[in-house]
Amino acid sequence: LEFRAPLKTSAPLQKALAALRKEIPVLEEDRYLAPDLANAAALVAAGTLSQATEIALPTLS
């Protein structure tokens, strides 16, 4: 999404991206991505990203 700037996505997705970026910085240089992927998975599992969108989504099981 960030590569498409200055275009913007929907407001809910902007909120989800902001929540993601609080925990996972933008990839500006090469780095080991396993910690970022684990953090992203934890955010999804905890419902953090869906809560950030303020849209009721079905729960994952």
Residue the block writes with tokens 């969108």: 53
**What DSSP character marks residue 5?**
T
pLDDT of residue 34: 98
- Higher-pLDDT residue of 5, 31: 31
Residue 43, helix vs strand vs coil: helix
Q: What is the value of pTM for the model shown?
A: 0.79
User: Which of the four pLDDT bands, split at 50, 70 and 90, describes residue 60?
Assistant: low
- Cα-to-chain-centroid distance, residue 5: 16
Tell me what percent of the residues of the chain surpass a pLDDT of 90.
62
**Which residues, at least 6 apart from 44, have a Cβ–Cβ distance to it below 8 Å?**
50, 60
Of the candidates 44, 37, 38, 36, which has an alpha carbon nearest to the alpha carbon of residue 60?
Answer: 44
User: Which of the four pLDDT bands, split at 50, 70 and 90, describes residue 54?
Assistant: confident
Q: Give per-residue pLDDT as tens, 17-38.
A: 999 999 999 999 999 999 999 9
